[in-house]
Chains A and B, each alone.
Chain A
């Protein structure tokens, strides 16, 4: 499960009002209880709106660049998401969120600009986050990135163990 642990991003899909899928690259964090945590800014809340209408989502871990994984495969997680009502402005207020932000900083050092005084003045909404939790329902694994081949269905307890 190096893929989930080490890939910098995944492609996160929610469903729009008309049922069309909408996909964004995001950085998620696998929690100890087997759920995934990701966040969105209140300035870009479409993910949360979509999840509140339809909780079905997916996450495709398929981009190995920078991960250091020697034999890159891919993992598709399908699950149900919740988008919290509260807006979090202090990342240290939640231990999982604090760990998530630490991961983001390591993976995306250029993002330090956003944390500068100027960055916070210009993009203040970036620091007001809605937390999104994904509970996996199914997980699929491609040992190589040959997506036309049939993936192996993973036991969800394997995914949970990584967390």
Chain B
């Protein structure tokens, strides 16, 4: 499964990584998907400490162009 994820992530220049802060609001930053580790399924990223992101569920939304939007 992780290898499949790596294959798709590799097609994109950047990915938007989202976690949650201490108040339960989503927090997103852009990261380089090439750092994705297909063996462990992890994507290392450093959220700035000022955003107070906590450990928990996260998602990844690869983005390349602005062609798809507003649906």
Known: A21-B19, A147-B31. A57 touches B26 (CB 8 A): yes
A10 vs B26: C-alpha distance in the bound complex, in angstroms?
A: 14
Task: Looking at the assembled complex, report how far the CB atom of B21 sits from the nearest CB atom of chain A, in whole angstroms.
Answer: 8
A13 touches B51 (CB 8 A): no
Number of A-B contacts (CB under 8 A): 118
Within 8 A of B (CB), among A39-88: 39-41, 44, 54, 56-58, 60, 62-63, 65-66, 74, 76, 78-79
Q: Are A56 and B25 in contact (CB under 8 A)?
A: yes
- A108-B18 Cα distance, complex, nearest whole Å: 26
Contact with A along B1-41 (1 / 0, CB 8 A): 00000000000000010111101111111110000000000
Q: 1/0 contact trace for B41-64 toward A, CB 8 Å?
A: 000001011110000111101010
Task: Check A9/B71 contact, CB under 8 A, given A23-B18, A23-B59, A137-B25.
Answer: no
Known A11-B61, A23-B61, A40-B71: A60·B28 in contact at CB below 8 Å:
yes
Query: How many of A's residues come within 8 Å of B, CB to CB?
Result: 49
B25 to chain A, nearest CB (A): 4
Is the beta-carbon distance between A21 and B16 smaller than 8 angstroms? no
Contact A151 B25 (CB under 8 A): no
A157 at the interface (CB under 8 A from B): no
Partner of B28, one of A76, A110, A126, A150: A76
Identify the A interface with B (CB < 8 A).
8-9, 11, 13-15, 18-27, 38-41, 44, 54, 56-58, 60, 62-63, 65-66, 74, 76, 78-79, 104, 107-108, 110, 126, 137-138, 140, 145, 147-151, 153
